[in-house]
Amino acid sequence: MKSRYKAVIYDCDGVMLDTLESNYIFYNRVMNYLGRPELDRNDLKARSVLHAYSFNNVMDYFFEGDECHAEAIEFAKTIHYRDLSPFMNVEEGLIETLDLLKGHVSLAVCTNRAISMEMIIEDFGLSGYFSCVMTASKVTNPKPHPEPLLKVLDHYGIEPGEALFVGDSAVDMEAAAGAGVPFVAYKSLLPGQVRIQHHAEILNHL
């Protein structure tokens, strides 16, 4: 397989894994601990924040200026990823597509997750695919800042136009634009972007 790109970079939540339910469970546990109402699932803005931004940014969104901000963060840090993993699922066609791409392009992850990404890779059969895993814990400025993507490019020593970034949110799109990396929107109606509904469709854009 020939490709004009040297690397394909994947966001995690909503792209590699369907994790929306696990994210709701996580933040609702925080709300329950504080005696607050659970999150309104019809609140599309809150949904986009908890699904796309880094942990610190999400906690700022829900608790900035709140006297319980620090307490909320401390409790949230006691919730273990593996309590939530039963509510996560690998997106259909991901592993089959990675098998086709491996050996032809470099494969990377660029996520706003912090400490759970390595466990996700191990637990969901993704070991051996990704030669660079960039998380929020490895940067000063997580997405939508371009820093994480720029660090991936530096890791491979390639130019922005030599990589594709597959994401599902405006946060991903903004990070890609800031880094100058071509963006592919997965299961998303983001405007003016290449869109795919199934992972195998990425092969049509290489």
The pLDDT value given to residue 115: 86
Q: Are residues 37 and 119 in the same domain?
A: no
The pLDDT value given to residue 16: 98
Closest alpha carbon to 95 in 134, 129, 131: 129
* DSSP letter assigned to residue 165: E
- Number of domains observed in the structure of the chain: 2
**8 and 108 in contact (C-beta within 8 Å)?**
yes
User: pLDDT tens per residue, the chain (206 residues)?
Assistant: 888 999 999 999 999 999 999 999 999 999 999 999 999 999 999 999 998 999 999 999 999 999 999 999 999 999 998 899 999 999 999 999 999 999 999 999 999 998 899 999 999 999 999 999 999 999 999 999 999 999 999 999 999 999 999 999 999 999 999 999 999 999 998 877 799 999 999 999 99
Q: Residue 174 and residue 73: Cα distance in Å, rounded?
A: 26
Range of the domain at 55: 20-85
Q: Are residues 76 and 125 in the same domain?
A: no
Q: Residue 89 and residue 85: Cα distance in Å, rounded?
A: 8
Q: What is the CATH number of the domain that holds 95?
A: 3.40.50.1000
